[in-house]
Copies of this chain bind each other. A is one copy, B any other.
């Protein structure tokens, strides 16, 4: 397939959103899909670490280091998807309106999560299993703290 054909296909699939750099001009549904994708991948790489921290899976320092490095990039990807223009969407989302009425607190929760991931990256280089497990627990707590306040309960 030639490059132009690919681009035509992409444009068709995602509407005008793709070719616009300003996030606020992107369709709410695309923003929801993208931020949920970031959450899905964060959980993909956190899940096995939670299992290790709980003793439900064998501890593997290499997996901790790899996943921590992935998370250190993934933890930057969800947030621009919570643009205020995504408030009114036909997509299924558990995002609560408090995200937009308390932006400073939401931002603080993001920073808290990112700091916890940075600590996990540092711990993963220490060779200290207990330290890594504690850092995994701290990341889990930062997820929960944000979800508690900003995500609809199920």
The answer to whether A47 and B19 have CB atoms under 8 Å apart is yes
**What total of chain A residues lie within 8 Å of the partner, measured CB to CB?**
46
The answer to whether A41 and B77 have CB atoms under 8 Å apart is yes
Q: Which B residues are in CB contact (< 8 Å) with A89?
A: none
The answer to whether B63 and A21 have CB atoms under 8 Å apart is yes
Complex partner residue of A6 from B36, B70, B144, CB under 8 angstroms: B144
Q: Which B residues are in CB contact (< 8 Å) with A50?
A: 6-7, 10, 18-19
CB distance from A31 to the nearest CB of B (A): 10
The answer to whether B144 and A5 have CB atoms under 8 Å apart is yes
With a 10 A CB-CB cut-off, give which of A5, A6, A10, A63 has the most chain B CB atoms.
Answer: A6
A38 within 8 A of B: yes
Complex partner residue of A1 from B7, B20, B36, B147, CB under 8 angstroms: B147
The answer to whether A3 and B137 have CB atoms under 8 Å apart is yes
Some 17 contacts from A to B, beta carbons below 8 A apart, are A1-B145, A1-B147, A2-B141, A3-B144, A5-B144, A6-B144, A6-B147, A7-B54, A10-B43, A10-B50, A14-B47, A19-B50, A21-B48, A36-B37, A37-B37, A37-B44, A73-B73
